[in-house]
Structure 1
Amino acid sequence: MRKEDFNFDLPEELIAQDPLEDRSSSRLLVLDKETGKTEHHVFREIIDYLEAGDCLVINDTKVIPARLIGSKIGTDAKIEVLLLKRKENDVWETLVKPGKKAKMGTRISFGDGLLVGEVVDIVEEGNRLIHFEYEGIFEEILDRLGQMPLPPYITHQLEDKNRYQTVYAKHSGSAAAPTAGLHFTPELLKKIEEKGVQIARVTLHVGLGTFRPVKVDNILEHHMHSEFYQIEEEAAEKINTAKANGKRVIAVGTTSCRTIESAAKEDGTIAPVSGWTDIFIYPGYQFKVLDCLITNFHLPESTLVMLVSALAGREHVLNAYEEAIKERYRFFSFGDAMFIR
């Protein structure tokens, strides 16, 4: 299976640069995974496709303001640091730009010394382990100094930090938002619950793998970065009950999908679990739990397009994307949504 099998021409102006004022007024393309038939709606009409007893799985991770701009102590050279994974004892795995300025022992000052980082190890692909020194509470300092780590395709500054969070974000730890969830409002979620749909909260802290392009021609050689995930007993119970009653499990976003598929047993049930996953879902994958998926429109040749193709079939997906481009749907993090049923 080649990377180019998942390519398509995406006009740059269709990559949404700003979120809509009203989250649930984005557009919604509904794709029937069996027939390839499509319908066009507004996102809040998703409720018409949900039935009592279905289980909607949401990822309640919270994005941290993980982008820090600092200066190298001694030369004042500008260095940008993106926090990826929290390790122990105030050490983080980070992505540093420009990497060549961040040799072992390099010290970087952020916010006039409010936070100081020292490179303590060099990991593969330009990643660095950095030990941070500070006084007070790290999260509070980060909130003061950090910026939201928007994907490289979004060049506009974000006016309101909260627009890159879902309304149900709870557990801090992501370097990127689970963007399919950005379409939900508290009002829409309340109506969905009132309809008898169970909402299961899971957590997957989204890492840099979300932005990382597939560089190998043969996609089977691509390696996903591992991400931390957690499923509590209550969520596992809701998912298992829906399956046992012949109802559907509907994931909001590829991150929720990968979480439940990582935890799934062969019989399609889920037990409470926490750990690390590097699951890579591409065509040929047999889904154990997932029935339907709410997702955004993704970039060409991305692992995300491969995942939706695994669920709905590559041809159906590429045809639906062609239609979305023709209809001027907005793509990527702040773009429109698709429901694969």
Structure 2
Amino acid sequence: MKLSHFNFDLPEELLAEYPSEHRDEARLMVLNRKDQTIEHKLFKDLIDYFEEDDVMILNNTKVFPARLFGNKEKTGARIEVFLLRELNPEQRLWDVLVDPARKIRIGNKLYFGEDETLVAEVIDNTTSRGRTLRFLYDGSYGEFRRKLTELGQTPLPKYIKREVEPEDEDRYQTIYAKNEGAVAAPTAGLHFSKHLLKRLEIKGVNFAEVTLHVGLGTFNPVEVEDLSKHKMDSEEISINKIATDTINSALKEKRRICAVGTTVMRAVESSVSSSGTLNEFTGWTNKFIFPPYDFSIANCMVTNFHTPKSTLLMMVSAFAGHDFVKRAYDEAIKEGYKFYSYGDAMLII
């Protein structure tokens, strides 16, 4: 398929600036692949589609406050620094994006915080906006990381034009987040409340946790019409034995296995054995899933509504079928569903 197959007109007012008032009361569109039917529910109705010993796979990555604002030495120009990846903890080296990039050259120093106790020196250019910074801080590594957290902001997606508000720190994080390392939330999981998870647990649904640290590369635009020529950025994943045992047991018993989010789907499809089961794995994946694609692990998924021409929409189309997803998106726009990170959800069974 081609890039143009995934284009559609999305009204700007359907991009969600705020999350729903209660996590599990976002709207839920249910797509039944077998019957080709569409239902309109609330997210808390998700429980009605699962039985005892079914499995939900969750991404337990935790978003860190990756957006910093500093001032350039001498000129005092305000510079936004977006932390992407820690390269070397001992030397405090980080890959970052800077804005405006044209003002930032190798050798420049940036000062953060009112007391300017945190300083960073630019030591390399990586891309047009990318830089490598060495942070200079008088303190232990633990104190340095606490300083980054103190000065950083929740990295809301760029499409959200408003200022970050105090509640975003909580709402742009899943309630089961534990392994820090993501610069964007695995947004399908934002809809789960503690009450809904407990109800699912009481019903006998099993949970398996994997980790995929979401990077900004997930949201990079596809710039080639031939999808086979698009290259995904690598993201770090970890799948342990507890998760593989739970998932492989459900595979053997032909239970419903639900990937909560495209990040989970990408993680598990990156570590499939020759026999079609899930392997333990710690490392990196640059897997790009687009139609046609044969999925090996999950037979069900939860996902948000994605933007035109996005790699996330391509994965969902590979799973549910391009024509079916197109019909569902047309209906979602007609019915006023909210799109993107703080938007409504879709369950594909």
Q: Deviations over 1:84-137 (max 9, x none)?
A: 111112111111111111211111111142211111111134211111112342
One-letter amino acid matched to 1:176: A
Task: Note if 1:153 corresponds to 2:159.
Answer: yes
Unaligned runs of 5+ in 1: none
| Aligned partner of 1:288 among 274, 292, 296 | 296
* Contact kept in structure 2, 1:179 and 1:253, CA below 8 Å: yes
Instruction: Supply the AA of the counterpart residue of 1:296.
Output: N
**TM-score, L = length of structure 2:** 0.95
Aligned-residue sequence identity (percent) comes to: 49
Q: How far off is 1:266 after superposition?
A: 2.7
Counterpart residue number, 1:130: 133
- The alpha carbon displacement at 1:50 in A equals 1.0
Structure 2 distance, partners of 1:321, 1:138, is 45
Match of 2:146 in 1: 140
Counterpart of 1:98? 100
Between the aligned partners of 1:285 and 1:102, the Cα distance in structure 2 is 42
Deviation string for 1:285-320 (max 9, x for gaps)?
A: 111112111000000100000000000111100110
Question: Which amino acid is the alignment partner of residue 96 of structure 2?
Answer: T
Give the stretch that moved more between structures: 112-121 or 226-235. 112-121
The residue identity in structure 1 corresponding to 2:339 is: F
1:339 equivalent to 2:342? Answer no
Q: Tell me how far apart the structure 2 counterparts of residues 197 and 266 of structure 1 sit (CA, whole Å).
A: 27
d(CA) in 1 for partners of 2:226, 2:128? 20
Pairwise CA distance, 1:143? 1.9
* Correspondent of 2:124 among 116, 121, 140: 121
Deviation per CA, 1:118-166, whole angstroms, max 9, x where unpaired?
A: 1111113421111111234222112211111111111122321111000
Consecutive unaligned residues in structure 2, runs of 5 or more: none
Which of these residues, 316, 333, 340, is aligned with residue 325 of structure 1?
333
Q: Is residue 218–residue 233 contact of structure 2 (8 Å, CA) maintained in 1?
A: no
- Mapped to 2, the partners of 1:77 and 1:156 lie a distance apart of 22
User: How many residues get paired?
Assistant: 341
Q: Determine the C-alpha separation between the residues in 1 that align with 2:247 and 2:144.
A: 35
* 1:1-341 correspondence to structure 2 within 5 Å: 1-88=1-88, 89-112=91-114, 113-136=116-139, 137-159=143-165, 160=167, 161-341=169-349
CA contact (8 A) 1:85 1:93 kept: yes
Measured in 2, the distance between the counterparts of 1:172 and 1:73 equals 31
Amino acid at match of 1:20: S
Q: TM-score, normalised by structure 1?
A: 0.97
Q: Is the 8 A contact 1:10 1:300 kept in 2?
A: yes
Q: Distance in 1 between matches of 2:85 and 2:293?
A: 28
Equivalent-residue separation in structure 2 for 1:147 and 1:215 (angstroms):
30
Kept in 1, the 8 Å contact 2:218–2:232? The answer is no
Task: Compute the RMSD of aligned alpha carbons.
Answer: 1.2
Distance 1:299 1:119 in 2: 34
TM-superposed deviation, 1:10? 0.6
The answer as to whether partners of 1:283 and 1:307 remain within 8 angstroms in 2 is yes
Structure-2 separation of matches of 1:249 and 1:131: 43
Supply the AA of the counterpart residue of 1:152.
K
SS in 2 for 1:124: coil
- 3-state secondary structure, aligned to 2:248: helix
Paired amino acid for 2:137: Y
Letter in 2 for 1:41: K
Kept after mapping to 2: 8 A contact 1:59/1:178: yes
Partner SS, residue 263 of structure 1: coil
1:51 Cα deviation from its structure 2 partner: 1.5
Native 8 Å contact 1:33 1:311 kept in 2: no
CA shift in 2, pair 1:51/1:226, >3 Å: same
On the 8 A contact 2:219/2:311 being kept in 1, the answer is no
